[in-house]
Structure 1
Amino acid sequence: MSEQKDPAVQAELAQYHDRSALFSRPGFLIRRLHQIHTWLFAEETQAYNITPVQYSLLTALAEHGEMDQNTLAYEIGLERTSVAEVLPRLEARGVVERRQSPLDRRVKLVKISRKGRALAKRMAAAAQRAHDRTIELLPPEEREQFMLQLIKLVEANNDGSVVPLRLR
């Protein structure tokens, strides 16, 4: 079955491509949108001094409870070494607690502290504003479809063959 292409969409894409070949590269556009979102997140949450990665860690721990660092890294799509670098800063702030597993002393277990839960709750509205601002220029009827497409792309590529990102 051949793919039906919308001529209006094709013409609009061609205009962007004529402006720059980068607009035909999904990776470039995803990276650029990530930069934009990171800036919006920082702007909305500056009073809390928490990065998007740190907020993701707190959110995952609040949602799933105590877990080992490897599972936490997988949950938020980062290398375990990146998570191991971020957690001491959060622990020093008192928003997470770490301990050795009683079953395997090589394994570190992490949980969100009461202070961390309170912080995540206090900054939830600011973080949501950043998320909303990231896609607010889409027509309202397209936002849910865009989110669904993002989820499908992430899930389709989340089979373990793609290495999680390392923080720089």
Structure 2
Amino acid sequence: MDAPPAVSHIDDTEPDQVLAWRNTALNERPGFLIRRLHQIHVALFMEECAAEGITPVQYSILTALEQLGPSEQVVLSRAVGLDRANTADVISRLAQRRFVQSRVSRTDRRKKVAELTGVGQALLTRLESPVARAHERTIAALPSDERATFLRQLLLLVETNNEVSRTPIVR
């Protein structure tokens, strides 16, 4: 008996669209450009924040804690779109540097709660200008009157496709 044919994720795509993407140069395809922009932003972030030795993911966790207050690790992972194992690892590294403290939940001993410390809050204050510079440098090539539109379009793409992510953001 023959195996069933492989199912293509582009079966519903018009043949002309498939050919159009196939004939598009790699460096002009959306996925490639989004990945490259992410790499560029991370490099700018790391350059601007080098003095503090903090990564963009660590910064996201710290910012989420600042905005949400003490939070269970699963809530943090959903807030920043990071899987639970990586969230736990990031929190552990941040706790070693005394930027956060982690404790067992008072209501459910199986859960851990992370909380921003005074040292972590001071770090976020020091990072305000460097992070702002990294964000500004990332979009600096855009005319100032197009930046808000670009950010709205990015938000639309992320929100529209959130559920297909391995780690959807839950608000």
TM-score scaled to structure 1, two decimals?
Answer: 0.83
Deviation at 1:24, TM superposition (A): 3.6
Could you tell me which of 124, 130, 134 is aligned with 1:130?
134
Q: Structure 2: which 5+ residue stretches go unaligned? A: 1-19
Could you tell me which of 110, 117, 120 is aligned with 2:121?
117
Residue 61 (structure 2) aligns with? 57
Find the aligned partners of 2:64 and 2:75 in 1 and give their Cα distance: 10
Residue 44 (structure 1) aligns with? 48
The residue matched to 2:113 in structure 1 has which SS?
strand
Residues 56-75 of structure 1 correspond to what in structure 2 (within 5 A)?
56-75=60-79
Residue 164 (structure 1) aligns with? 167
Runs of 4 or more above 6 Å deviation: none
Residue 6 (structure 1) aligns with? none
Find the aligned partners of 2:152 and 2:27 in 1 and give their Cα distance: 21
Deviation at 1:164, TM superposition (A): 2.1
Could you tell me which of 142, 155, 163 is aligned with 2:159?
155
Find the aligned partners of 1:138 and 1:64 in 2 and give their Cα distance: 32
Find the aligned partners of 1:117 and 1:104 in 2 and give their Cα distance: 27
Q: Structure 1: which 5+ residue stretches go unaligned? A: 1-13
Find the aligned partners of 1:31 and 1:63 in 2 and give their Cα distance: 27
The residue matched to 1:157 in structure 2 has which SS?
helix
Deviations 1:69-101 (A, max 9, x none): 011011011111111111111001000011101
Deviations 1:48-89 (A, max 9, x none): 000000001101100110111011011011111111111111
Residue 100 (structure 2) aligns with? 96
Find the aligned partners of 2:165 and 2:146 in 1 and give their Cα distance: 28
Deviations 1:82-141 (A, max 9, x none): 111111110010000111011111100011111100101111110110000000000111
> Which letter does structure 2 place at the counterpart of 1:156?
T
**What is the aligned-residue RMSD (CA, Å)?**
1.8
> Which letter does structure 2 place at the counterpart of 1:158?
N
**Count of matched residue pairs:** 148
Find the aligned partners of 1:33 and 1:104 in 2 and give their Cα distance: 41
TM-score scaled to structure 2, two decimals?
Answer: 0.82
